[in-house]
Structure 1
């Protein structure tokens, strides 16, 4: 599995976890929800950087 596929899988897992957490906590400002949201942002940033690098190489 290449890095892009790994990141896509991690994005989906983290997004699902965050949505479940939001349902459980019922509060978007819950510290745990914020932490998971920041984790997702970080993973998405990495994903887009890789995509951008691949486009530059083409």
Structure 2
């Protein structure tokens, strides 16, 4: 998956999280699941960025 695709998915998941928080609150199991999904996407993006930077420094 490209960085652009990851960024798009991150923005979608962030919007979904905001909607779920407004509807169910911060402690709802749905909210926690979406938050974990967003964390995973952010971690993937950060790893991809680190790879790009390490390649450009080589």
TM, length-normalised to structure 2: 0.93
Q: Which consecutive residues of structure 2, in runs of 5 or more, have no partner in the other structure?
A: none
TM, length-normalised to structure 1: 0.93
Q: Could you tell me how far apart the structure 2 residues matched to 1:47 and 1:3 are?
A: 9
Shift of 1:55: 0.1
Q: Which consecutive residues of structure 1, in runs of 5 or more, have no partner in the other structure?
A: none
Q: How many residues align?
A: 56
Output one character per residue of 1:2-56: Cα deviation in whole Å (capped at 9) or x when no partner: 610000000000000000011111x201000000000000000000000000000
RMSD in angstroms over aligned alpha carbons? 0.9
